[in-house]
A and B are shown apart, each in its own frame.
Chain A
Amino acid sequence: EVQLVESGGGLVQPGGSLRLSCAASGFTFSNSAMTWVRQAPGKGLEWVSGISVSGGSTYYADSVKGRFTISRDNSKNTLYLQMNSLRAEDTAIYYCAKGYGSGFYRWLFDYWGQGTLVTVSS
């Protein structure tokens, strides 16, 4: 059974930092592109960042470029999102999601975690 379990969320002050983790199991993690998607309270889904199977290619939404860094450790089956210079508008549930396949299918998502809440507030 595929499982994605996010952790690391919490309350942080504006300008602060947080690192999210996503522990994966039930599939070959090193064969799957991975993505972070967020959802502000009561709002829609926003694609945040994606990473290739090797970690050699990374992609970011303009809203987080230069502040967030996605990475992965295939030996630990874990995906990360380092978030710096956090703003109130970064407040959201952050989901990690598994890519469906290869090529362009890396960037649609067949399994999702349950999310971790990040609140940016003073």
Chain B
Amino acid sequence: EIVLTQSPGTLSLSPGERATLSCRASQSVSSNYLAWYQQKPGQAPRLLMYGASSRATGIPDRFSGSGSGTDFTLTISRLEPEDFAVYYCQQYGNSPYSFGQGTKLEIK
């Protein structure tokens, strides 16, 4: 089973700043089958990125993803007020298709 560890647990930033979220896998993620989701309170998760670096439909270009193997990063270039939420990474290359524990992005 691939264990995904996200860091930091909480990130406190201001609107307009750059956010960098990390996701580390316990073993290599097949073909970079790594996705990122955003979840706001009381809502279902929303797909942001897949294949480590491809944006899902309708996701603004201030969101970008990078990485390969065991280390992946989600970057939000300039934070908007609506970006403050919890972010999860997920690997979909090997069953069980595990999620990281999440990074909470909060307003400073």
Residues on A facing B (Cβ under 8 Å): 35, 37, 44-47, 50, 59-62, 95, 100, 104-110, 112-115
A47, A59, A108: most-surrounded residue (chain B CB, <10 A): A108
Q: Which residue of B lies closest to A61 (CB)?
A: B96
Q: Which residue of A lies closest to B88 (CB)?
A: A45
How many residue pairs, one in A and one in B, have C-beta atoms under 8 Å apart?
A: 66
* Given known A47-B99, A107-B97, A112-B44, contact A62–B1 (CB-CB < 8 A): yes
With a cutoff of 8 Å between Cβ atoms, the chain B residues found around residue A59 in the complex are 95-97
- Is there an interface contact between A108 and B99, defined as CB atoms closer than 8 Å? no
- Is there an interface contact between A108 and B90, defined as CB atoms closer than 8 Å? yes
Residues on B facing A (Cβ under 8 Å): 1, 30-31, 33, 35, 37, 39, 43-47, 50, 56-57, 88, 90, 92-93, 95-102
Distance to closest chain A CB from B95 (angstroms): 5
Q: Which residue of B lies closest to A63 (CB)?
A: B96
- Classify the secondary structure of B's interface with A: loop
- Is there an interface contact between A112 and B45, defined as CB atoms closer than 8 Å? yes
> For the complex, what is the distance from the CA of A115 to the CA of B96, rounded to whole Å?
21
- Is there an interface contact between B96 and A104, defined as CB atoms closer than 8 Å? no
- Is there an interface contact between B44 and A47, defined as CB atoms closer than 8 Å? no
- Is there an interface contact between B102 and A107, defined as CB atoms closer than 8 Å? no
* Given known A62-B1, A100-B50, contact A108–B102 (CB-CB < 8 A): no
With a cutoff of 8 Å between Cβ atoms, the chain B residues found around residue A47 in the complex are 90, 96-99
- Is there an interface contact between A45 and B45, defined as CB atoms closer than 8 Å? yes
- Is there an interface contact between A104 and B44, defined as CB atoms closer than 8 Å? no
Q: Which residue of A lies closest to B1 (CB)?
A: A62
